[in-house]
């Protein structure tokens, strides 16, 4: 048994998932076999995963199944064993991705500033850089996290968020890349066509020539902390130091909330730690499922 307030949340999540399946999710997991209508539905699997992650803070699939077995069998009497549950869960990568995308698009707060965007990325770690990463080699590789001064194997989660005054930014788009992918390359490939924007990023986005061209073609500018210039004389550094420090502090204070957003994601879903994952599909469910659970937490 679960408390009444959590039971209400469970019903909300289940109804929302069922509505989305009726709209279009069902076409992403169609079965062309005699078992095309299993007794335990995909909607129930997604509901259990989202509810246990968002409400019970149990983040590993084994923990999620164990909790459901102990407390949710009156709601889900056809719950299968752990192996079957895990196999079925790994088939739901696309529904989790679409659910997270729809939650973001349909619940944009009114206080978002459409013209000011904050950029950053965070690592999703399958193992440390001291070892050879063997999980999902088609998706992951070795990268470096400057914030943690850490080499790691895994993915990198990129976020483009609308600025909200004195609050965490609300994501406009979130993308996944290999760990070695440079943030600036992701921006060039995915967001360089956005017009009339002011972007706030860290020093990795510092590229004067590229963003001059972007300003001329898209009327968008990128503001980053000042980056040291190679071979600059000490006299020049000292001459510009006060102005550079003030500008860098101002930019950093504006973009700081996106770091709070990533910290919130980690606290609510433990998305950064993926060391227990053993397959590519499992890794994608970990990413998109945890994102959907985080947005479910915020919106419901």
Percentages (nearest 5) of helix, strand, coil residues in the chain: 50, 20, 30
Q: Are 201 and 224 spatial neighbours (Cβ–Cβ below 8 Å)?
A: yes
User: Would you place residue 232 in the very low, low, confident or very high pLDDT band (cuts 50, 70, 90)?
Assistant: low
152 pLDDT more than 80: yes
* Kind plus residue range of the DSSP H or E element containing 243: helix 234-269
CA 262 to chain centroid:
8
The residue to which tokens 């550094």 are assigned? 237
Does the pLDDT value for residue 44 go beyond 90? Answer: yes
Average pLDDT, the chain: 92
Q: What is the pLDDT of residue 6?
A: 93
- DSSP 8-state assignment for residue 33: S
Provide the Cα torsion 226, 231, 236, 237; round to 10°: 50
Q: Which residues lie closer than 8 Å to 142 by C-beta, 6 or more apart?
A: 129, 133, 151, 152, 153, 179, 180
The helix (H) or strand (E) run that includes residue 163 is strand 150-164
User: Of 191, 217, 196, 60, nearest to 120 (Cα)?
Assistant: 191
Following DSSP, what letter does each residue of 77-145 receive, concatenated? TT---HHHHHHHHTT-HHHHHHHHHHHHHHT--TT-EEEEEEEEEEEEEEEETTS---S-TTT-EEEEE
Q: Please, which pLDDT band fits residue 227 given cuts at 50, 70 and 90?
A: confident
For residue range 237-278, what is the model confidence (pLDDT) as tens digits? 676 778 888 999 999 999 999 999 999 999 999 999 999 999
Alpha-carbon distance 230 to 232, whole Å?
Answer: 5
> In the prediction, which pLDDT does 32 show?
75
pLDDT in tens, 156-201: 999 999 999 989 999 999 999 999 999 999 999 999 999 999 999 9
Choose the weakest-confidence range: 76-90, 139-153, 278-292. Answer: 139-153
Its pTM stands at 0.93
Rounded CA separation 62/35 (Å): 25
Residue 284's pLDDT is 97
């Amino acid at each position: 048994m679960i408390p009444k307030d959590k039971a209400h949340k469970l019903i909300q999540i289940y109804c929302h998932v069922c509505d989305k399946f009726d709209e279009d999710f069902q076409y992403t997991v169609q079965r062309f076999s005699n078992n095309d209508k299993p007794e335990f539905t995909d909607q129930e699997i997604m509901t259990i995963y989202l509810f246990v992650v968002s409400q019970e803070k149990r983040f590993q699939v084994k923990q999620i199944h164990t909790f459901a077995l102990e407390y949710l069998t009156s709601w889900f009497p056809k719950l299968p064993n752990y192996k079957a549950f895990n196999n079925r869960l790994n088939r739901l990568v696309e529904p989790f991705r679409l659910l997270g995308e729809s939650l973001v698009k349909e619940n944009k707060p009114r206080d978002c500033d459409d013209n000011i965007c904050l950029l950053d990325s965070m690592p999703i770690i399958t193992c440390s850089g001291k070892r050879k990463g063997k999980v999902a080699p088609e998706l992951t590789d070795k990268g470096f996290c400057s914030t943690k001064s850490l080499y790691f194997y895994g993915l990198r989660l990129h976020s483009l968020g609308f600025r909200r005054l004195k609050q965490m930014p609300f994501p406009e788009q979130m993308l996944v890349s290999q760990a070695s992918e440079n943030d600036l390359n992701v921006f060039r490939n995915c967001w360089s066509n956005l017009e009339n924007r002011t972007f706030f990023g860290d020093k990795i986005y510092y590229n004067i020539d590229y963003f001059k061209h972007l300003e001329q073609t898209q009327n968008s500018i990128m503001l980053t902390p000042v980056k040291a210039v190679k071979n600059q004389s000490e006299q020049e550094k000292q001459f510009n130091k006060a102005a550079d420090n003030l500008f860098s502090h101002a930019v950093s204070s504006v973009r700081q909330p996106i770091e709070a957003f990533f910290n919130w994601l980690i606290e609510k879903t433990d998305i950064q730690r993926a060391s227990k994952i053993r397959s590519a599909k499992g890794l994608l469910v970990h990413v998109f499922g945890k994102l959907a659970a985080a947005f479910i937490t915020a919106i419901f």
